[in-house]
Amino acid sequence: MAEFTNKVAIVTGTTGIGRAVALHLARRGAAVAALGIDAAANVELQQQASTERLPLIVLTADVCMPDMVESALQEVVVGFGGVDIIVNAAAVHPYGDATDTSFETFMRCMAVNVGSIHLMAQFGVPEMRKRGGGVIVNLSSVQGHACQQGVSAYVASKGAIHAMTRAMALDFASDRIRVVSISPGSVRTPILELAARTFGGPDADIDDAFRRFGEAHPLGRIGEPEEVAELAAFLASDKAAFITGSDHRIDGGLTAGIGVK
């Protein structure tokens, strides 16, 4: 299926959900640029794209640095001709409450998880306007709706993404630019592995932890990055042309109940 033929997509984050989205869009015909700072992940993603002969390039960029974002956007515009889709999936997940999370850690979390969305819009929206419109998909989390203890910086950033999505949707609607967010539950990603080791120690059994995390979801399992990528692709497609300003949960029913058994 080549529903994104002649579309240009930029995806931030080259591991987990970002990696899955980049590959999914490229496999459906989009020219994709994936931005990330994880050197090993960048190489692995580029090798995967080359093996499949996908129109996907990987650019090393810290997406909370204005000069690096601007440079990457310009490289994409010169190389691919413009920007139609932006998927903001880059994220960090510090642990701690407001008393044991340093201000530097808090600000880094906000810069990566929220600031990068601002920067991608600052430099990307003008290019979308030249193309007559576009779509921005922001990856948030169910923790922007309801949270656990000891994650104050992370949940602050994810709640901010929900608010920013609504604001951007209103600001850019007249430009025919749609803006939506996705809130996953537990998904098989490096960030979930970090959670397993945070709660279970450095030698935690990851598969067992993932099984236990899955039991908290009514569907009885954790999600897969490819499932989130499918939702992102739908929201970025013309099939979702009347959807903007909304958040879309993909959480196995996690937030449907009150968690009491």
Residues forming the active site: 154
Please tell me the distance from the alpha carbon of residue 137 to that of residue 232, in angstroms, as a whole number: 7
| Whether 152 contacts 97, CB under 8 Å | yes
Under the phi-then-psi rule, with left for phi > 0, alpha for psi from -120 to 50, and beta for the rest, what region is 148?
beta
Residue in the block written with tokens 């709660």: 199
Question: Cβ contacts of residue 83 below 8 Å, gap of 6+?
Answer: 8, 9, 10, 73, 76, 77, 124, 127, 128, 131, 134
Residue 47 buriedness (CB in 10 A; 0-12 / 13-18 / 19+): exposed
Residue in the block written with tokens 């990987």: 58
| Whether 36 contacts 58, CB under 8 Å | yes
Structure tokens at 228: 């989130």
Please tell me the distance from the alpha carbon of residue 154 to that of residue 255, in angstroms, as a whole number: 17
Distances (CA, A) of 23 to 53, 104, 182, 232: 11, 33, 18, 12
| Whether 210 contacts 196, CB under 8 Å | yes
| Whether 161 contacts 181, CB under 8 Å | yes
Q: How far is CA 43 from the centre of its chain?
A: 19
- Per the document, the length of the chain is 261
